[in-house]
């Protein structure tokens, strides 16, 4: 959502994930990953955070929600509860580019600092 303050994640999409129970079947994992994809612009290292869910989808014949999946699910919910606002940089701002790469995905985020606090500008992910 574009507001006067910047670009914000749709609160209804965040609430949809926060209100979810742990998936009990492959279809529910697909629903979760779709919701994560809709918010990926706002989630730093979203590929890394959602990797356990995509591993389940690769093994679609056998559904196994293990401790690593549950931990990733809870960490994702905690992260989404405090999502940052994406703001436009001002001319002269120093920007920092962070890259994250795994064998499965590459992600990057452009950050600017304001009063010692890092604020995201844009996140890009490629699976």
Any domain includes 41: yes
Beta carbons of 126 and 107 less than 8 angstroms apart: yes
Give me the number of domains the chain comprises.
1
Q: What is the domain range of residue 106?
A: 11-126
Give 76-116 pLDDT, tens digit per residue.
Answer: 999 888 876 666 777 888 888 888 888 877 878 888 887 88
Any domain includes 2: no
CATH number of domain containing 83: 3.30.70
Give the contacts of 112 (CB within 8 A, at least 6 positions apart).
87, 89, 93, 94, 95, 96, 118, 119, 121
Read off the pLDDT band of 52 (50, 70, 90).
very high
């Amino acid at each position: 959502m574009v507001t006067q303050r910047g670009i914000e994640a749709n609160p209804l999409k965040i609430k949809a994930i926060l209100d979810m129970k742990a998936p009990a079947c492959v279809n529910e994992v697909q629903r979760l990953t779709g919701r994560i994809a809709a918010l990926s612009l706002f989630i730093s290292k979203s590929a890394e955070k959602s990797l356990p869910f995509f591993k389940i989808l690769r093994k679609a014949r056998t559904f196994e929600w293990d401790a690593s999946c549950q931990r990733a699910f809870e960490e994702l919910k905690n992260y989404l509860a405090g999502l940052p606002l994406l703001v436009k940089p001002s001319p002269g701002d120093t920007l920092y580019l962070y890259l994250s790469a795994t064998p499965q995905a590459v992600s990057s985020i452009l950050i600017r600092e304001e009063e010692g606090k890092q604020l995201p500008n844009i996140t890009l992910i490629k699976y």
